[in-house]
Amino acid sequence: MKKMLFALALTISAAGFAAEDIRIDLAANTGLVCNSVSRGLTASPAIWMKEKQDQRLLIRASSTPDWKQYSFQITPKGDGTIDLNIMSNQKNRNVCYDKVQVKGAILKNGDFETMNSKGLPEGWILNTEVLSSEGAASGKYCVRANHDRRAMQRIRVKAGQMVEISFMAKSAK
């Protein structure tokens, strides 16, 4: 009976983890404080980084088939940079992102519409397979990311100045 209950608990926890596929990683060279998250989002430090765990913040949620707006607010402890990594929590589950906006810092091309000479969204580091025209929330393009195929942009932040990041996301078809 104990083995069956353990197996059931393990299955339920794995299913819960699998459903949480939206993931944005913030990797900073300064400490970060998460002030708030919108409904449905969770935020947690990277506890595996031990004494530097406040320099990495994981934002997660479960995606839906339709575009949904999310937002969170952070405050950096010092002047520095944050790598905004748009991804999924899993290798085999893609999530679409669009309309990434930042208040309190500068983010370039959050709608992925302005292209550089290589045909990729200006300001972002990503591979061509991450760019998608699969029913973007606005404009023609969005990002279709998973754990290993990500989009990244570095933003400059000021100590004590709150930064609000909002984005739209949905599960990819």
Whether residue 25 lies inside any domain: the answer is yes
Separation between Cα atoms, residue 30 and residue 43, nearest integer Å: 17
Number of domains in the chain: 1
Residue 118's domain comprises 21-171
Does the structure show a pLDDT above 50 at 33?
yes
pLDDT of 15 reads 41
Whether residue 63 lies inside any domain: the answer is yes
Does the structure show a pLDDT above 50 at 62?
yes
How far is CA 158 from each of CA 28, 32, 101, 106, rounded to the nearest angstrom? Answer: 12, 11, 17, 11
Provide the 10 A C-beta neighbour count for residue 25: 18
- Above pLDDT 90, what percent of the chain? 75
pLDDT grade for 8, boundaries at 50, 70 and 90: very low
Whether residue 16 lies inside any domain: the answer is no
Q: What would the pLDDT profile of 102-148 be if each residue is shown by its tens digit?
A: 999 999 999 999 999 999 999 999 988 999 987 899 999 999 999 99
pLDDT grade for 19, boundaries at 50, 70 and 90: low
pLDDT of 52 reads 86
How far is CA 108 from each of CA 41, 99, 112, 154, 171, rounded to the nearest angstrom? Answer: 24, 11, 9, 10, 24
Please give the mean pLDDT across all residues of the chain. Answer: 89
Residue 28 identity: A
Sheet with 68-76: list strands edge to edge: 32-37, 68-76, 163-171, 95-103, 142-145, 131-132
pLDDT grade for 6, boundaries at 50, 70 and 90: very low
Residue 62 has which token pair?
Answer: 């479960």
Whether residue 65 lies inside any domain: the answer is yes
Residue 26 makes CB contacts below 8 A (sequence gap 6+) with 32, 56, 57, 58, 59, 74, 82, 83, 84, 85
Whether residue 64 lies inside any domain: the answer is yes
Whether residue 93 lies inside any domain: the answer is yes
N residues, the chain: 173
Q: What would the pLDDT profile of 84-104 be if each residue is shown by its tens digit?
A: 999 999 988 999 999 999 999
Q: What average pLDDT does the segment 1-9 reach?
A: 44
pLDDT of 18 reads 43
- Above pLDDT 70, what percent of the chain? 88
Whether residue 5 lies inside any domain: the answer is no
Residue 96 CA neighbour count, 13 Å, CB half: 23
Whether residue 8 lies inside any domain: the answer is no
Residue 145 has which token pair?
Answer: 């990311």
Using DSSP, state whether 49 is helix, strand or coil.
helix
Residue 2 makes CB contacts below 8 A (sequence gap 6+) with none
Does the structure show a pLDDT above 60 at 5?
no
Backbone torsion region of residue 45, taken as left when φ is above 0, otherwise alpha when ψ lies between -120 and 50, otherwise beta:
beta
pLDDT of 53 reads 81
**pTM attached to this predicted model:** 0.86
